[in-house]
Structure 1
Amino acid sequence: MAELPQERRLVTSIPGPKSQALLVRKTAAVAAGVGVTLPVFIARAGGGVVEDVDGNRLIDFGSGIAVTSVGNSAEAVVRRASAQLADFTHTCFMVTPYEGYVEVAEQLNELTPGDHEKRSALFNSGAEAVENAVKIARAYTKRTAVVVFDHGYHGRTNLTMALTAKNMPYKEGFGPFAPEIYRVPLAYPFRWLTGAENCAEEAAAQAIDQITKQVGAHNVAAIVIEPIAGEGGFIEPAKGFLPKIAEFARQNGIVFVADEIQTGFCRTGQWFACEDEGIVPDLITTAKGIAGGLPLAAVTGRAEIMDAAHSGGLGGTYGGNPVACAAALGAIETMREQDLPGKARRIGEIMLGRLRAIQEKFDVVGEVRGRGAMIAVELVEPGTKNPNPAATAALAKACHAEGLVVLTAGTYGNVLRFLPPLVIGENLLTEGLDIIESAFSRL
Structure 2
Amino acid sequence: MTIGDAPVRVALLGCGVVGSQVARILVEQADDLRERVGRPLELVGIGVRRDIPRPGIDPALLTTDVASLVRREDVDIVVEMVGGIEPTLTYLLDAIAAGKSVVTANKALLAQHGDAVFDAARDSDVDVYYEAAVAGAIPIIRPLRESLVGDAITSVLGIVNGTTNYILDQMHTRKSTFADALAEAQSLGYAEADPTADVEGYDAAAKAAILASLAFHTRVHLDDVDREGITEIDVQDIAAAERLGCVVKLLARCTVSADGTVAVGVHPTMVPLEHPLAGIRGAYNAVFVESVNAGRLMFMGPGAGGSPTASAVLGDIVTAARNRVRGVAGPGESAYSTPGITPPGAVRSRYYLSVTVRDEPGVLARVAEAMARQQVSIAAVRQEQGDEGGRAHLGITTHEATHDAVRAVVTHLMSTDDVHGGVRVLRVEGA
Q: Same fold by TM (over 0.5)? A: no
More contact order relative to length (CA 8 Å, sep ≥ 6): 1
TM-score in terms of structure 2 length: 0.23
TM-score in terms of structure 1 length: 0.23
Q: Which has the larger radius of gyration?
A: 2
